Structure 1
């Protein structure tokens, strides 16, 4: 057990958006895991003043060849075990990093274009969100990896406060029900638990829009 506590820790802190249509959840195709679908959202980014703090904790950012440019400033990487407590305390202050709302607006702007709905991008500018839950996983061992893993998923609802939000939810649901629009699907809880809807794989973090429990193991990203 003492040896396990000395392992480095991979951290990843994300925000996810829950968009519903009756008993179904809107999921987007993922470029990192082609053919798999998950809720809109992604990893929180840090602002430049955070770099000194992260460096002082010997944080090593995680980057892949396939997505290095897009992953710049992502709050995802490896920390020495002794730095984890300080890192978590800093994150809780909200200093020098995106809020969940800022992260979700940015991710929506990017992802709407990726799923063929770029015309809806202007609607993201005034969106507001309502917290649903935060799921904290770990630190846990990862099979075949020389580190523990700590992940946080902040789930938010789209707040129906203006016509733009109402239109965005309506358009996303319509795209999800349109078999000809392959970038978006609408899946119910049974689909998410099963991990598939027709030919579409459903990413395991999709479970967090329905509840606090993971229902399946991770799908590997494109490297």
Structure 2
């Protein structure tokens, strides 16, 4: 009986499979322990790159005005009156910004109602509403963004009844609430400078103080994103 037991091979494959499976599991655990730290490092680096101002992040983002139909596309140096008596609109401009640059990217309005996008002391400002001063007020909104060197898509959405929103490369960076009768008056606006009366601004910029990195301006009348109510 015992001699037959030792010679019997039934079940041998099962025994071999158990041993082989155990060896594979052990090998897998050893490999996982070795590479897990490296995988975590790569994952962290990827997340940081996509969250930062990198080519990877920018290339996959959409412009917030992509779904809008442009009412005007204005070249650098153009003058325009498209925003006269307008209460709500959006805009888009591709620009090259440097922290050391200053000047007006575009403006419209003048002495009573105005909208202006400009850079001063390393900060990008979008202001709209009453031309009685600068900064946020009940009848004037101001959105700001700290400039870092690079090429950017700058967009804004403005509604004189609720407020304004500023976007950089498709990302909402600043909002401001206010109420005013309109975004601009009858004076002509200018791309890359001032065409009429200079809207108030923190840099005291006037005629001839255009921003060196300005690009063409697209206007979308009566088309907004819904982010204009800020705090």
Normalising by the smaller structure, the TM-score range is: under 0.3
Bigger Rg, which one: 2
TM-score (norm 1): 0.21
TM-score (norm 2): 0.21
Larger relative contact order (CA 8 Å, sep ≥ 6): 1
